[in-house]
Amino acid sequence: MSGTPTGPEPDHEPTAAARAELIRQIRAAGRLGDPRWRAAFEEVPRHLFVPYHFVATPRGYQRLSGSDPDPGRRARWLEDVYTDMALATYMRDGELVSTSSQPSLMAMMLEDLRVEEAEAQGGRCRVLEIGTGTGYNAALLSHRLGAEHVTTVDLDEEITGPARDRLAAAGYRPAVVTGDGARGCPERAPYDRIIATCALPSVPPAWITQCTPGALILAPLATGLITLRVTDPEAVRAEGRFLPTPAYFVPLRARPDPTAQPPHPDPSERPDPPTESGEHHQNPHHALPREALRDDRFHFLRTLTANTLTPNEAHTLWHHQNHPRRERFGVTVQGACQYAWLDSAEGPYRWPLPGPGS
């Protein structure tokens, strides 16, 4: 099911060659087995959506762009754009606000949306994207599904405005909405799929209520990617497991609620137990072996359970469970309650996730 026209052809051979090299890198990573997603990556020009990016230097960030008068910096910009890596695309007061994700990770997430399942049932797949960024991911979705079935949301007009213009220049006109991504986009609901490109502490209930029964939500959570199947949108019920791949994204940003009360101290955010001398550990990783501190799986478990377990408690569990991989963990959402679990939602290892707005 193809979308609107794919936009302008590359204006010179180096760009076409660079794009072909990127596709080779993504396929070498084991992605783009689906020819329809492969066609999207082949035909949507990433350089159109990343006209500039920032690279870290000893003196701070340097801006590289396709319009730089220096040919060396222009060449570096093009090389970076068509290399399989994430790029810093929007800085505010020295803080990274938005990125263009690593293309092979984008390909994996798009394929794991399993849009073909929804198409087989209803002939179309309506997708809500949380985190517009540059607009590149929305363009890929529009190419595959048709722009009329794609809605993308970001918090600032400074982001959505340029993304909307770039999408139009490439020949795509999905609904680009400026708003709080945690609230979804109810005026365009219901959705068969929701994909987030920003890290979450928990799953916003509004997303689930805006889904169709059987919809799939894919979002970054605790340095992993959770896939939730929505079983009952009205009752806010969904459940699913983590994918095995690590994932690090810029956190979801939300507009502050002027009616919100200052948070009370959370009793679960407690220090490690006293030592035999009666002193508390000053270092939260006190006595943890280097093996654990260097292991990405422990970091995932520690992040997932930080609302409940101390670092030493998380390490004890990690050790006793033979260094569990991400895919052994899952999340259940039941109304206002949501929790993570190990191996089974009914098993002995369950941890509450922070509430909305935490």
Q: Is 100 a catalytic residue?
A: no
**Of the candidates 215, 64, 50, 212, which has an alpha carbon nearest to the alpha carbon of residue 135?**
50
97 and 91 in contact (C-beta within 8 Å)?
yes
What backbone torsions phi and psi does residue 174 show, to the nearest 5 degrees? Answer: -70, 170
Beta bridge partners of 193: 127, 216
Q: How far apart are CA 343 and CA 202, in angstroms?
A: 19
**Of the candidates 137, 65, 72, which has an alpha carbon nearest to the alpha carbon of residue 99?**
137
Of 98, 101, 104, 202, which one is the catalytic site residue?
A: 101
Cα–chain center distance at 317: 27
CA distances (Å), origin 68, targets 27, 50, 74 = 31, 13, 6
Q: Which amino acid is at 168?
A: A
Q: How far apart are CA 295 and CA 316, in angstroms?
A: 14
What backbone torsions phi and psi does residue 170 show, to the nearest 5 degrees? Answer: -85, -5
Q: What SS3 state is found at 228?
A: strand
Could you list the active site residues? 101
